[in-house]
Amino acid sequence: MSLSGSASSSESALRVVWVYPDLLSTYGDRGNMLVVERRALQRGVRVERVEVRSDQPVPVSGDIYLIGGGEDRPQRLAAERLRADRGLVRAAHGGAVVLSVCAGFQILGHEFVNDLGEREAGLGLLDVVSVRGTGQRCVGDVLADADESLGLPVLTGFENHQGVTRLGSGVRPLGHVRAGFGNGENSGVEGAWQGDIFGTYLHGPVLARNPLLADVLLKRAWNVADLAPVDDRWYEELRSERIAAVGRPS
């Protein structure tokens, strides 16, 4: 099944939920929402954008949920509120697609280390555990070969984190690192995914640098195998520039 660019405007809108922009939205992660919205609109599908602040309940009726990065204290506050609210968990268990970045990635796991140096419970949506790294901070551009089952070209993004995320048996790496640190501790991998839940340390924003990853989210939300092609020239210029920059001497 494919979704053409002439999809009827009478179809129900794609509901994209941006979770806690007041706490988790660093390094341009808000751009992920704009890319998903744009690529749906290019295919003739209406989009309902829902921005949920941390003092509001997370709706369970979204199709795609996006959660970004943030500093240590906002990350702890976000985790506390998401655990109490349970809306994101219920939505994910109900089949929604979720993309999480950096601090958001750690929150979706079983636990991470908070700003107080204590272990903080996550949401358990990804079989990962994050700890505080003791070595060099992970900063800079990343290139990673995407998990072959996702059918994506090389992933590109910018990382800035001290965390180390270890994958359990229930997840697969989003990619295998060519350049950069990825999940840290010389793991050789970047991010994680299981089912329709995705996590990554890549900013940039990650979907602007990797528009076909946005299409993976859309295909899963719409339950289709293929999407009509769209004009990717500006994305490809950005991708080409950043991929080439990794190979240049600093």
The Cα–Cα gap between 69 and 101 comes to 5
pLDDT at residue 24, as a whole number: 95
230: tokens are 């769209």
69-120 pLDDT per residue, tens: 999 999 999 999 999 999 999 999 999 999 999 999 999 999 999 999 999 9
Which of the four pLDDT bands, split at 50, 70 and 90, describes residue 250? low
The per-residue pLDDT for range 75-88, each reduced to its tens digit, is: 999 999 999 999 99
Catalytic residue among 110, 138, 161, 203: 203
Highest mean pLDDT out of 1-10, 51-60, 134-143, 179-188: 51-60
What is residue 202's DSSP assignment?
A: -
∠ CA 244-247-250, nearest 5°, is 110
Cis peptide leading into 205, omega within 30 of 0? Answer: yes
- 2: pLDDT strictly greater than 70: no
Looking at domain 2-244, its CATH architecture is 3-Layer(aba) Sandwich (3.40)
* Angle between helix 30-41 and 211-222 (nearest 10): 60
- Residue with the bigger pLDDT between 107 and 27: it is 107
Residue 5 has a pLDDT of 45
Confidence band, pLDDT 50/70/90 cuts, at residue 19:
very high
- 230/227 Cα distance (integer angstroms): 9
98 pairs with which residues across the strands?
A: 65, 197
User: Alpha-carbon distance 31 to 206, whole Å?
Assistant: 8
d(CA 95, CA 223): 11
Is 110 among the residues known to form the active site?
no
Q: Which residues contact 80 (CB under 8 A, 6 or more apart)?
A: none
**How far apart (Å, rounded) are the C-alpha atoms in residues 249 and 129?**
34
Give the model's pLDDT for residue 1. Answer: 41
pLDDT at 6: 40
Longest dimension (CA), the chain: 54
List 102, 110, 138, 161, catalytic entry:
102
Q: What is the mean pLDDT of residues 127-143?
A: 94
Instruction: Give per-residue pLDDT as tens, 223-246.
Output: 999 999 999 999 999 999 999 999
CA torsion sign for 24, 27, 31, 35 is: negative
Could you identify the residue written with the tokens 């999407």?
Answer: 227
Identity (one letter) of the amino acid at 142?
V
Over 80: is that where the pLDDT of 8 sits?
Answer: no
Would you tell me how many other CB atoms lie within 10 Å of the CB of residue 239? 21
> Mean pLDDT for the chain?
93
Domain map of the chain by residue range? 2-244
